[in-house]
């Protein structure tokens, strides 16, 4: 998808396999022709017929224009002569050899205005995959031929494939349709901010039937956040339709990402829509769209809205910010982490953000905003809650336990964690790292549609994860 990529840790790097092949043909032709370079973009080479066809055309062109006079002079060499005695064959071979040796094949011998004289053209065939490349401006592009980049409406940002291709950056905005891999979807007036009412829509079409998923990387994502009573996105919205169910999000989501199921076949377009309304706001977005093939290692597991790779990384809920963020309502999605080889468990801990106390009384405890899911967190610190105590908003970590301690009960796993403190034990005011050995590694984040009056001021969560080796004592 992927690379990933970006500033987000634990996401795929810009090595996502390309979705096509480019064939570049360089030919230095005969004395009557110039040296030229032709490229055939996105050629699917099931067999060699495409190459043979191109070479045949070039040979036919050169022979008929440049070598016609030579052909007439030597045509008697190919005409059968049944009356010639067998002993004359050796003499003819010697004569042919002498004539061929008299032809100048040296590039230093100019003729016809200084151009090289050759009997047959020399070809250089270069086949390269349309892989992800790094542009000069730091953006990811696709390595394709220069002519195809122009046809796609892209901008060349450096060379690739040893100079035979260019790193093509394609940027689109409202009302467009794209099938290009590594496309950037930007706001109107980009790179300036946008302040207005709009329904900005982009339609995604597969570049190849083998594409299974679209990955959206939020390079920039800053629109108006939710209303402050129930934390619902009623002003600005980012809506995805046509794929797997995706919750509506808003607010600040830079460095986050989403995977979308692209469905089967070629006729399953996916639509991305930014809807803006309400008061004046300096909005900006830049979303990189990557097309993930079914056989790539960056393909997310089934049912995962987010997918992280690597031994360690960071996971944030949408619109998380330790100071101004508000946990979004109506969220229900899975977060998956690929289990790396020789790792059997995973440990989660809150991000090391600065403590931001909302309390004003000396009797109230200041607390971290890295994990606040339920409770009136604008007041005093809220203890952890687990299991059946989490009825409205929660984070599911299968069979979670505090690091270094056995689960409190051997009969039931603790899955749900909520409250204002990250801890796998109920009613605890001390933040703890939490470990799970259930495979595959997967979290589920759920919020309902109501925050007021009980769940006020919740920020959501920010967790760092580290996978644990199989040789480590995991409890």
Chain position carrying tokens 């919740």: 458
Q: What CATH superfamily classification does 173-296 receive?
A: Spermadhesin, CUB domain (2.60.120.290)
Question: Which pLDDT band, with edges at 50, 70 and 90, does 128 fall under?
Answer: confident
What integer is the mean pLDDT of 213-228?
A: 97
Rounded to whole angstroms, how far apart are CA atoms 243 and 270?
6
Of 315, 316, 314, 260, which Cα lies nearest the Cα of 291? Answer: 260
Comparing 45-54, 178-187, 235-244, which segment has the lowest mean pLDDT? 45-54
Give strand pairing partners of 333: 445
What proportion of the chain, given as a percentage, has pLDDT over 90? 51
DSSP three-state, residue 151: helix
What are the b/e assignments for 356-389, b being 16+ CB within 10 Å? eeeeeeeeeeebbbbbbbbbbbeebbbbbbbbee
What integer is the mean pLDDT of 227-254?
A: 95
So what's the pLDDT on residue 406? 58
For residue 346, count CB atoms less than 10 angstroms from its CB and return exposed for 0-12, middle for 13-18, buried for 19 or more.
Answer: buried
The token pair that represents 106 in the structure block = 């040296």
Can you give the pTM of this predicted structure?
Answer: 0.74
List, as one string, the DSSP characters of 278-303. Answer: SS---BEEEEEEEEEETTSTTPPPTT
Dihedral of CA 168/169/175/181: which sign?
A: positive
Residue 64 in this model has a pLDDT that exceeds 80: no
Domain ranges of the chain: 126-168, 173-296, 312-353+367-469
For the domain 312-353+367-469, what is the CATH code? 2.60.120.290
Task: Report yes or no: 423 and 397 within 8 Å, Cβ to Cβ.
Answer: no
pLDDT digits (tens, 9 = 90+) for 190-201: 999 999 999 999
Rounded to whole angstroms, how far apart are CA atoms 445 and 304?
11
Chain position carrying tokens 């979303």: 287
DSSP three-state, residue 262: coil
So what's the pLDDT on residue 224? 97
Of 189, 219, 202, 216, which Cα lies nearest the Cα of 286? Answer: 219
Supply φ then ψ for residue 154, to 5 degrees.
-95, 180
So what's the pLDDT on residue 462? 97
Of 448, 444, 402, which Cα lies nearest the Cα of 421? Answer: 402
pLDDT digits (tens, 9 = 90+) for 93-127: 566 555 545 544 443 444 444 444 444 555 667 77
DSSP three-state, residue 11: coil
Comparing 52-61, 331-340, 380-389, 429-438, which segment has the lowest mean pLDDT? 52-61
- Ranges assigned E (strand) in 161-233: 165-172, 176-178, 183-186, 198-204, 211-222
What integer is the mean pLDDT of 396-419?
A: 80
Of 22, 1, 43, which Cα lies nearest the Cα of 168? Answer: 22
Instruction: Between 160 and 66, name the one with better pLDDT.
Output: 160
Instruction: Between 223 and 84, name the one with better pLDDT.
Output: 223
Question: Which pLDDT band, with edges at 50, 70 and 90, does 57 fall under?
Answer: low
Look at the chain and count its residues: 475
Comparing 118-132, 421-435, 443-457, which segment has the lowest mean pLDDT? 118-132
So what's the pLDDT on residue 82? 43
Residue 362 in this model has a pLDDT that exceeds 50: no
- The separation between the first and the last C-alpha atoms of the chain, rounded to the nearest angstrom, is 34
Chain position carrying tokens 């810009």: 14
- Ranges assigned E (strand) in 281-389: 284-293, 306-308, 312-316, 332-337, 343-350, 371-372, 384-386
Rounded to whole angstroms, how far apart are CA atoms 421 and 56?
73
Q: Which of 95-104, 119-128, 130-139, 384-393 has the highest mean pLDDT?
A: 384-393
- Average confidence score pLDDT of the chain: 79
Give strand pairing partners of 462: 316
So what's the pLDDT on residue 79? 52
Residue 277 in this model has a pLDDT that exceeds 50: yes
What integer is the mean pLDDT of 169-173?
A: 94
């Amino acid at each position: 998808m992927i690379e990933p990529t970006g500033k987000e840790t634990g996401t795929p790097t810009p090595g996502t396999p390309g979705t096509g092949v480019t064939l570049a043909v360089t030919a230095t032709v005969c004395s009557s022709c110039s040296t030229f370079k032709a490229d055939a973009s996105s050629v699917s080479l099931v067999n060699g017929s495409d190459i043979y066809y191109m070479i045949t055309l070039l040979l036919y062109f050169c022979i008929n224009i440049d070598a016609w006079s030579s052909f007439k002079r030597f045509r008697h060499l190919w005409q059968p002569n049944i009356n010639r005695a067998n002993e004359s064959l050796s003499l003819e071979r010697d004569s042919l050899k002498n004539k061929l040796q008299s032809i100048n094949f040296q590039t230093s011998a100019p003729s016809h205005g200084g151009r090289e004289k050759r009997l047959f053209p020399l070809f250089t065939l270069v086949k390269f995959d349309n892989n992800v490349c790094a542009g000069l401006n730091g953006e990811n592009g696709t390595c394709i031929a220069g002519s195809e980049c122009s046809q796609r409406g892209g901008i060349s940002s450096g060379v690739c494939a040893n100079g035979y291709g260019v790193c093509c950056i394609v940027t689109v905005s409202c009302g467009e349709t794209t099938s290009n891999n590594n496309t950037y979807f930007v706001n109107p007036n980009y790179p300036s901010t946008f302040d207005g009412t709009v329904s900005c829509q982009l339609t995604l079409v597969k570049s190849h039937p083998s594409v299974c998923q679209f990955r959206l990387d939020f390079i920039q994502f800053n629109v108006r956040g939710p209303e402050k009573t129930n934390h619902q996105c009623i002003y600005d919205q980012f809506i995805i339709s046509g794929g797997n169910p995706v919750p509506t999000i808003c607010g600040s989501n830079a460095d986050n990402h989403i995977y979308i199921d692209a469905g089967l076949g070629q006729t399953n377009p996916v639509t991305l829509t930014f809807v803006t309304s309400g008061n004046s706001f300096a909005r900006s977005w830049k979303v990189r769209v990557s097309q993930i093939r079914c056989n790539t290692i960056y393909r997310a597991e089934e049912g995962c809205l987010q997918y992280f790779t690597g031994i360690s990384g960071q996971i944030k809920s949408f619109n998380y910010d330790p100071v101004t963020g508000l946990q979004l309502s109506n969220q229900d999605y899975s977060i998956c982490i690929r289990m790396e080889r020789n790792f059997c468990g995973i440990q989660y801990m809150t991000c090391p953000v600065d403590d931001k106390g909302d309390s004003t009384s000396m009797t109230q405890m200041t607390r971290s905003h890295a994990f606040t899911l339920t409770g009136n967190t604008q007041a005093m610190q809220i203890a952890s809650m687990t299991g059946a105590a989490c009825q409205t908003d929660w984070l599911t970590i299968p069979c979670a336990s505090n690091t270094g301690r056995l689960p409190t009960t051997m009969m039931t796993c603790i899955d749900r964690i909520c409250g204002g403190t990250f801890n796998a034990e109920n009613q605890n005011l001390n933040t703890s790292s939490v470990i799970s050995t259930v495979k595959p590694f997967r979290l589920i984040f759920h919020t309902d549609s109501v925050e007021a009056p009980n769940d006020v001021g919740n920020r959501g969560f920010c967790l760092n994860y580290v996978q644990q080796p199989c040789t480590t004592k995991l409890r």
